[in-house]
Structure 1
Amino acid sequence: MPNFRLYGITGENFHPGRSLVDVMEEAILGGVDIVQFRDKSSSKEELVRKAKALRALTTRYGVPFIVNDHVDLALEVDADGIHLGQGDMPIAEARQRVGSRIIGISTHAIGEALLAEQQGADYIGAGPVYATATKADVVAPVGLSYIREVAEQISIPFVAIGGIKLDNVEEVIRAGATRICAVSEIVGSTDVTGTCRTFLTKLDRKGVDTWN
């Protein structure tokens, strides 16, 4: 799969009054190099409309587009991949459905991460590192220790996620993360582009220039 460093996830509740596409475009301009569409509440018609708009945006900028959970939606809009939770369909079934498209999966323990790698996931999400209110069904924070475990034991790409802010990202990087995802800190920012650039500056300052 394409290399990435700053993973952007949609979160419309964090930017009321501002359009989804405008905010995600600002994020891409700031350096977000992979975008996930996550929406747990919209109608099917709204999901399709938003996904198509984001697919057009990400195509224009050459950024991979991932759909959370909804495999049928991902196929309908020709997304580059899907992202699964631990309670979603098995990776093997997803692979049959999406073929060579990217498959990512959230993990919260090293056993889940090792199994995801064994079963053919292209990348994993590792977290939540810190407490987060980004989604309703979030699990308890796994802490920096889990990031260290993943960095030491997992060979596929992983992205650290969950409660990551500009004021704590450096300790996540020191724990071994080379890819970061922040939701509210990015899309809820009054300067989305500048916030993304600051995240990347912090990654660069730690000498993170290699890929797991």
Structure 2
Amino acid sequence: MKINPVFPYPLYLVISEKDCIHHHWLDIAEQAILGGVDIIQLREKDCTTKEYIAKATELKKITDHYSIPLIINDSLEVATTVNSWGIHVGRTDISPSEIINHPDSPKNIGWSLEVIEQLNENEMQFVHHLGVSPIFSTPTKTNTISEWGYEGLQNLKPETSKPLITIGGINENNIAKIVQAGADSVAIVSAICGSSNPKRSAQILKQIINHNEYNPKTI
């Protein structure tokens, strides 16, 4: 993959405690970093804000140790409390325009792109990178409209200069084609969180990313 200088983080881990099956979720985060993960998003939907802050604080000790950026999903309060690198929100969450007007807001705002018409919305001017969601339908992300697929991603690529982070049903069997279709970064959930060897799984995914480049003619 040709590294996008605006978002130079090709392998992106989205982690939550409930998605981590074989090991403690903090151990999986560290092993994933050692395996090649470049950036981590903490996504906790089923806990209190106090619990979310506690989890984010523990994870940030690890990400800071390895100089890995931390993104907080959905909660501006958590993001500002732990001074995260970024925040990621969906269409039904707090808006990017609200976030950017907060005095202590993270400097990097990601927004879930579910339909191409969002590119024309006013909120787009406040967004730094886009979460193309989902590429394929997945049990870990159910509140979405449809799936993009390879062709949807390929058609989206020339329509925006913002970095495209793909998420949803991505694993070692389809990640190469997703990179070829135009992903600037690939977000992984189950293929690492559900792995019995998260470090090795991250290594395999990173190797595939490194050996593939954007090539729309292959789709």
- SS state of the match for residue 171, structure 1? helix
For the 8 Å contact 1:178–1:203, the answer to whether it is kept is no
For the 8 Å contact 2:113–2:133, the answer to whether it is kept is yes
Listed as ranges, the matches of 1:164-203 within 5 Å are 164-203=170-209
CA RMSD in angstroms comes to: 1.9
Partner of 2:48: 43
For the 8 Å contact 1:127–1:143, the answer to whether it is kept is no
Shift of 1:185: 0.8
1:112-134 Cα shifts (integer Å, max 9, x gaps): 14547842211000121111001
For the 8 Å contact 2:9–2:185, the answer to whether it is kept is yes
Q: Which runs of 5+ in 1 are unaligned?
A: none
Q: Which moved more, 1:152-161 or 1:64-73?
A: 152-161
Listed as ranges, the matches of 1:123-142 within 5 Å are 123-142=129-148
For the 8 Å contact 1:10–1:187, the answer to whether it is kept is yes
For the 8 Å contact 1:66–1:79, the answer to whether it is kept is yes
Q: Which moved more, 1:30-39 or 1:150-159?
A: 150-159
Q: Provide closer, same or farther for how the CA distance between residues 207 and 145 of structure 1 changes in structure 2, counting only shifts above 3 A.
A: closer
Listed as ranges, the matches of 1:1-20 within 5 Å are 2-16=7-21, 18-20=23-25
Question: Quick one: percent identity of the two aligned structures?
Answer: 29
Counterpart check, 1:26 vs 2:31: yes
In structure 2, what is the Cα distance between the partners aligned to 1:16 and 1:198?
19
Counterpart check, 1:73 vs 2:84: no
TM-score, with structure 1 as normaliser: 0.90
AA aligned to 2:97 is: A
What is the aligned length?
Answer: 208
Listed as ranges, the matches of 1:148-167 within 5 Å are 148-167=154-173
Shift of 1:140: 2.3
TM-score, with structure 2 as normaliser: 0.88
Q: Which moved more, 1:74-83 or 1:2-11?
A: 2-11
For the 8 Å contact 2:170–2:188, the answer to whether it is kept is yes
In structure 1, what is the Cα distance between the partners aligned to 2:89 and 2:159?
21
For the 8 Å contact 1:108–1:128, the answer to whether it is kept is yes
For the 8 Å contact 1:37–1:66, the answer to whether it is kept is yes
The correspondence for 2:99, drawn from 94, 114, 117, is: 94
Shift of 1:198: 1.1
AA aligned to 1:28 is: I
In structure 1, what is the Cα distance between the partners aligned to 2:139 and 2:164?
21
In structure 1, what is the Cα distance between the partners aligned to 2:47 and 2:105?
27
1:78-115 Cα shifts (integer Å, max 9, x gaps): 11111010111221111012446110011012221454
Higher relative contact order (CA 8 A, sep 6+): 2
The 4+ residue runs of structure 1 with deviation greater than 6 A are: none
Counterpart check, 1:145 vs 2:151: yes
In structure 2, what is the Cα distance between the partners aligned to 1:83 and 1:116?
17
In structure 1, what is the Cα distance between the partners aligned to 2:172 and 2:22?
24
